[in-house]
Structures are given as C-alpha cells and as structure tokens.
Structure 1
C-alpha cells in the first residue's frame, strides 16, 4: 500500500472499507479498465485518475481493481465517452466539455467563460441541482458521471507573440476547447481541438499560435513555456477546471451497494483533494515559470476581456436554444451563478481585496 493510500483511509474511508471486508473472504475480484484523455501521470488530471483507481482498490479491499490507461493506449483522448458507454472500458477520466458536440449541455460541467469558480461549481453540482441534471445529460450515452478532480482556476493561455489588443487575435490558431473556444472564435481567432499530448509539438511547428490548457501546475509539465513564453491571464475562458470520472451504466448497475458507495466516495474525495493539491502546485509552478524559465506573465488587454464577456453571453444563450435539456442545464447554472454572486463579492473578493492580494 502506498503512503498516499495510507494517508487517505481515515474517517469515512475506513468505514467504507469495513463494509467491503465481509466480501473479501469470498475472493471476489472485479477488474476494470479506465481510459483517460491525459498523458500518463500528467500532474493534475492524470494523477487524479491514478488516485481514484488507488482509492477504489484500497477501500474495496481489493475487490475492485482498476487499470488506468493514458490517452492513446486503448482509445484516443477524445473518444473516452464513447469507449465507456460502448463497453470498451468500464471507467473513464476526462473533461465534460469535450462532448459538447454530442450534447451542448455537457460543457457546463467542466467550465463556462465568466462562469462559476471552483467552489461555486462544486456547490452547484452537489447542492444546487447540478448532479441530477448531469446524470440526465449523460444517460443517453450509457454512462454515469462524477466529479473526479479539479485543476482550479485556469489561465488564459500561452502565446508565441504578445497580444497588443483585440485585433491581435484575428487569424490566430489557438488551442481552445469548450465554450471558451467558441468565444475565441467570435473574437476572430481560429480555435483548435488539439489533444494535450500534441500541444507542444503543434506550438513548435507553428500549427498553433497559442494554446490554453489548465494552469501553471499542469502546464509546466507539458513544457509549453519553451516555445510560447507569453502567459496570459485572467482565465476568463476557464474559471474552473472540473475533471469528470465516468462509469459505464451497465457496469455500475452490476455493482453491490457497498462498491457503488466506494466508487462515489473515491471520486468525491479526489474532487476535493485535487483542488487542494493544485492550489499548491499552481503557486509553486508559477514561481518557477517566472523566476527560472523567464516566462512573461501578462494580462489580457482590457478590450479583449470586455469583448469576450459580451460574446460569452451570446454563446451561452446559443447553447440554451439548442434543445430542452440544454435549456434546463443553462437555466440551472446561470440561475445559481446569479444567486451566489452577491455572496462571493462580499466574501472571497472582499477578503482578497482586504489582504491586498
């Protein structure tokens, strides 16, 4: 058992493990495969996938063993949803906004331009009706979704050349996914859906002029700073970074109640732990990028942010108009954002302003 596993078997986890104990004697073992959208053990989402598998094995007393596969080992990065729903693998770890072409409402479950922050997003999913709608969105694809990690507030992106203003975006080929990608398109850029493992090579070759991925703690591992030294914020395009863990509905229905509880618990624990870890990693990586690698940390020109905010409203309205379920998710999400915003202003924003950072 790894030191990580020992640290995370306290409290409720021990209770869940105890539930599984009577079954271990029968020698029952299930072996599942988890396909992911990430390079092997990528800091952030790649490690979230590994930790979820470790927790499930430990909490189940070995009854449920999961082998994690990096993007491309069994299926390409952007085929995880179909692979899990189609029975190629029992689990997947990915990001919901990859599936907006299949169901527009899916994008709300990763991040929305100018949308909910990580804490607000968790509140919406867990306590604001978001999970029930998420289950409804994914049921036709044969999977059950869980929050399975979070990379926190993201950055705006890496660019090979500085952005002098809104006109500088016109014609740029930018790796930008989800609804943020559509905002970039409306600002004149050409969004690209480049898989994470291919971003660096695409920047080096000039196939991409810029790329957004996650935040410093993950971006540094891809080495994007080597060829695109201009690092822009704020991440208006991705203010949150929820990773999702998918379970095949047929496999899920075949689990005993205690194993279902273990899977759900492992995902929920990772959603919280990953956000905490990324706060640390992002802070450390940002310092390394600036001090060691001489990255130029820059702010988007005000006219880009202002134009993006206007376009984001229209993008969300367009998603809501596509089908009834998309409208339900849109209304739930934006309604929650409107209700929580006054509190966020007098709590988090006010505290940050008060402490001067």
Structure 2
C-alpha cells in the first residue's frame, strides 16, 4: 500500500472514530475555595458545601477541585459575603439572612418570619420569579447566588424559662438568626446574633436567656438541651431556611459553559441532599432529646399571633423605606399566598390527618 493510500484510510478511520465517540471538551484544571459560615462538626448544614464540592470534582474527573473551609478558618462566619464580593475567595456557603444589615432583601433569599416552607421556597426560586429577582439583586454585590441546601421548618429554640405569654418575650436576651431579631425587638426582646460554635457557652454562662439554632439533629450535637430545658416549636421565623452558595461573579463568568452547568447541577444536588439529611435525622434526634428530659412545648397562640402582627408591621415599614424590598417581597408574598391556598387543600389536610393516625 502506498503512502497516499495509507493516509486516506487513516483519515477515514479517524472520521469514523470521531463520529462514534462522544464529544469531550478539554477543560482547564481549577482550584476554588469555599468559605463556610458553619462549623465542620455540623455535618448536615456544613456538609451541603462538601456535597457540592465532591459532586463538582466527580463530574469533572478531578479537574475542578473545591476545598471547603469552616467558619473562622479563612474568615469569620459573618464576613463571607465581603470575601466573595471582593474576590478573596471564589465562593461562600451561608445563610443569607445573616447579612440583612447590608440590605433586608438578603433575608428573603434565606428565611423571613412567617415565610414559605421549603417546597414553596424552592418552587419560587426554581420555577417562580424568585431566582431571577434574587440574581438581579445580588449582582449589586458581585455575587451569583445558587440554592445550596434547605433545613426545612425549624424548631423554636431552647429557653431557660417557660414562655407563657408575650410578657415573657420582653427583656429576653435571645440568640436568633438574623432578620428574625427585628421582630423579636419589636416585641420587647433583645436579639443576639451569635455563631453556632458560641451558643452553648453563652447559654451556659447566662449571657443569653434563650437560643435557637435549627432543629433536633444539630441541637443535640450542640448540647443545647443541657443548658436550657424548654424546647419550643415552631420556629415561626423559619418555616424553612434556604442556604445559598455565593459565587464571585468574575470567577463564575470565567468558567466554560460545561463547568457552569456542572456547578449548577452540583448545587442542586447539595440542595436536595441537605434537606433529605435533616428530614431523615431529625426524628431520631428528637426522640433522644425527649428521653434526655427535654420539655417540648408549643408556643402559646397569643405569642404566635403577636409575632405575626409584628412581622407584618415590619414588612409594611420596609415597603415604605426599601425599594429593593418592596419589589421582591411583593412577588414573594403573592406567590406564597397561592401556595398556602394549595397546601391547605392538599398537603396540609393530608399531613394533619396522618398526624392523628397510629402507624
């Protein structure tokens, strides 16, 4: 066979091989860091960032590696937005309402008192206008936001003394996450924004009178039942908490389309996994807390109604003072109104019935 014939046959074989093989695009090796607002010991909430990082690595064949750093390792828990905004780190994993001091709209991206439950909030973010509205808002901070976990409905926290009426809220030094403190303040309480790792010591020393974190699984790990016996429900300030992956916009926009798609898919995997872990692990943890003599009590109706009124008054004030809030909250509340109606007929009625049955 002459040289020309060999080249011709090789060329045909190459074309056939290329047609049969899947298209694989060479991607650069990348290394990112995520600054978490949570301690590594809380494997559910901190673990969502780990799930994300591991998924990205697996989907890119190890070419895109992301290290996750617990609160305080790269920067304090409540400084991660600044770190992403100025490019000190490529990403952060956090609870958006920690940063309501920058703008109250941050809280809408995480949890607001008497807000949506986890399914409703995810629906607003994914299929409603929530994702688009929040992306437009975060662009002002050089941030690309992605949902990256949800805790589901939370408990109302641990109290050193019983809560029998709204009078017991007055003067109460209460560790409560972010934006809810504005409502507690209106009710006469004294909100405290304290990272998870400092809650136990603050309760033990009497620096605070009460504290909420998330729910049974994490609360058991933190040992909060050992320093405050009364465990109230529900956490009306967090019908769910949407956790966010904040990515520096320059870092995100520098990614190829393939890597962007992988990052989005991995964040959604972490979003679902995080809530699945909470839903799976909270029931057993609650049993352990009850066995350890925790006194599980509902908030009195009077307290819930007063809290609701204070929250609605706060939102009305923000409509008048914060144009960003007014625009996004209006869409949020309209969406929630329809969701509550739907859940009333289907999920709510079903869940209430099942809770009275012996399984």
Name the TM-score, length of structure 1 as normaliser.
0.91
Q: Deviations over 1:237-257 (max 9, x none)?
A: 111011111111010011000
1:300 CA displacement: 0.9
The equivalent residue for 2:47 is 47
Specify whether residues 315 and 249 from structure 1 end up closer, same or farther in structure 2 by C-alpha distance, changes over 3 A only: same
1:143 CA displacement: 1.0
Q: Deviations over 1:270-309 (max 9, x none)?
A: 1112111111111111111111x21110111221111001
1:43 CA displacement: 2.9
Contact in 2 for aligned 1:20/1:59 (Cα 8 Å): no
1:325 CA displacement: 1.7
Contact in 1 for aligned 2:51/2:269 (Cα 8 Å): no
Contact in 2 for aligned 1:35/1:70 (Cα 8 Å): yes
Larger CA deviation: 253-262 vs 163-172: 163-172
1:23 CA displacement: 2.0
Q: 5+ unaligned residues in a row in structure 2: which ranges?
A: 1-20
Q: Deviations over 1:181-209 (max 9, x none)?
A: 11111111100011111111111111111
Q: CA separation in 2, counterparts of 1:263 and 1:19?
A: 21
Matched position secondary structure for 1:321: helix
The equivalent residue for 2:251 is 251
Alignment of 1:64-213 (within 5 A): 64-213=64-213
Q: CA separation in 2, counterparts of 1:20 and 1:96?
A: 39
1:157 CA displacement: 1.0
Specify whether residues 187 and 20 from structure 1 end up closer, same or farther in structure 2 by C-alpha distance, changes over 3 A only: farther
Specify whether residues 320 and 21 from structure 1 end up closer, same or farther in structure 2 by C-alpha distance, changes over 3 A only: farther
> How large is the Cα RMSD of the aligned pairs?
1.5
The equivalent residue for 2:14 is none
Alignment of 1:240-319 (within 5 A): 240-291=240-291, 293-319=292-318
Contact in 1 for aligned 2:104/2:179 (Cα 8 Å): no
Contact in 2 for aligned 1:41/1:50 (Cα 8 Å): no
Q: CA separation in 1, counterparts of 2:94 and 2:136?
A: 18
Q: CA separation in 2, counterparts of 1:137 and 1:178?
A: 19
1:19 CA displacement: 8.8
Larger Rg: 2
1:312 CA displacement: 1.1
Q: Deviations over 1:203-236 (max 9, x none)?
A: 1111111011111122211111110121100111
Contact in 2 for aligned 1:103/1:137 (Cα 8 Å): no
Specify whether residues 54 and 167 from structure 1 end up closer, same or farther in structure 2 by C-alpha distance, changes over 3 A only: same
Q: CA separation in 2, counterparts of 1:41 and 1:211?
A: 18
Q: CA separation in 2, counterparts of 1:22 and 1:127?
A: 30
Matched position secondary structure for 2:57: helix
The equivalent residue for 1:218 is 218
Larger CA deviation: 42-51 vs 124-133: 42-51
Q: CA separation in 1, counterparts of 2:22 and 2:175?
A: 45
Q: Deviations over 1:58-79 (max 9, x none)?
A: 1111121111110001100000
Name the TM-score, length of structure 2 as normaliser.
0.90
Q: 5+ unaligned residues in a row in structure 1: which ranges?
A: 1-17
1:20 CA displacement: 9.5
Matched position secondary structure for 2:136: helix
Q: CA separation in 2, counterparts of 1:203 and 1:261?
A: 44
The equivalent residue for 1:34 is 34
